[in-house]
Amino acid sequence: MITTYASVPAGFTVYSDVNFMQFPAGEQHFTLGPAAQQQVPVRVLITGTDANDYIRAGLWIDYAHQHGNKVEAVIPYLPAARADRGEPFGAKVYANLINSLEADQVTCLDPHSPVMTELVDNLTIVESAGVIAADPRIAQRRYAGVIAPDAGAVSRAQKAADALGIPLFRAAKHRDFATGKLSGFSCEQLPDNGRLLVVDDICDGGGTFRGLAQSTGLGPDRLDLWVSHGVFSGQAARLRENFGSIFTTDSHPGHQNPDVNATILPVSSFMF
């Protein structure tokens, strides 16, 4: 999904008066409404991974540059950040697509891999720790601790724990070296009382989080989940068996999965 923003003479920001369309041959295009004459393009928000949205954003940024205006591209969920090695090198391909927009600034949220952040030009990163700590729905719960579900989540979970002023507990995934498949989970000793918040960047099908919850022996009366990007595919609805509250943003269309019924924090409330 793409949303474009502009400033107006009164000094505030509005939705741009622009209508995106597709020619019969398949090319993307847009037309301007009458209010556009009094608007100055300032920002485009892209959520999800639809390549056509990136084409639309590129067209709009080109229009803005032709009129001498600078534009920020807010891309909370960096596509293919998990494909940061191997063949094909997906992170590089998507980074090239983002760079082709020629945005004057690109802003993302809690990127999965530092590899991709090195590939995207003019990038500003919004970390999740400050977002978590500033959300009153989380602050009012007075968590007893934060859990990092695996080694890759420790850094962001530690920052969240520090921002909340509570301890971090580390969990780990274990694999069968013969097959490469997950064989189980473990977690540091957890407190006997109080709610705990599991923190990570992405939830796809939710298997890691369900496995972690089952290994702790704790249920939804003790566990909540924060993920910056809720893809919520496959059996993600089963997260409800393990977590009382599930928090995410609207950075990816998957956040709307009604069976997960996550509590949503709009990126527009803290990214611009």
pLDDT in tens, the chain (272 residues): 999 999 999 999 999 999 999 999 999 999 999 999 999 999 999 999 999 999 999 999 999 999 999 999 999 999 999 999 889 999 999 999 999 999 999 999 999 999 999 999 999 999 999 999 999 999 899 999 999 999 999 999 999 999 999 999 999 988 777 776 777 899 999 999 999 999 999 999 999 999 999 999 999 999 999 999 999 999 999 999 999 999 999 999 999 999 999 999 999 999 99
Crossing angle, helix 90-100 and helix 51-66, to 10 degrees? 30
Predicted local distance difference test score (pLDDT) of residue 178: 72
Same domain for 107 and 133?
Answer: no
Same domain, yes or no: 177 and 115: no
Range of the domain at 150: 129-269
- Rounded-to-integer distance, Cα 119 and Cα 102, Å: 14
- Rg of the chain (C-alpha set): 20
Identify whether residues 99 and 142 lie together within a single domain: no
Structure token pair of residue 209: 């989080």
Statement to judge: residues 113 and 150 lie in one domain: no
Residue 114 parent element (H or E): helix 114-119
> CB neighbours of 12 closer than 8 A, spacing ≥ 6?
none
Whole-angstrom Cα distance, residue 148 to residue 133? 16
Residues 116, 26 within the same domain = yes
Task: Note whether 58 and 159 are same-domain residues.
Answer: no
Give the model's pLDDT for residue 175. 76
Judgement on whether residues 134 and 263 belong to the same structural domain of the protein = yes
End position of a domain, from candidates 126, 141, 171: 126
Q: Which helix (H) or strand (E) holds 29?
A: strand 28-32
Q: What is the pTM of this model?
A: 0.94
User: Where among 72, 100, 126 does a domain terminate?
Assistant: 126
Residues 180 and 239 in one domain: yes
Based on the fold, state whether residues 236 and 149 are members of the same structural domain: yes
pLDDT of residue 179: 73
Residue 180 is predicted with a pLDDT of 67
Asked if 159 and 83 sit in the same domain, the reply is no
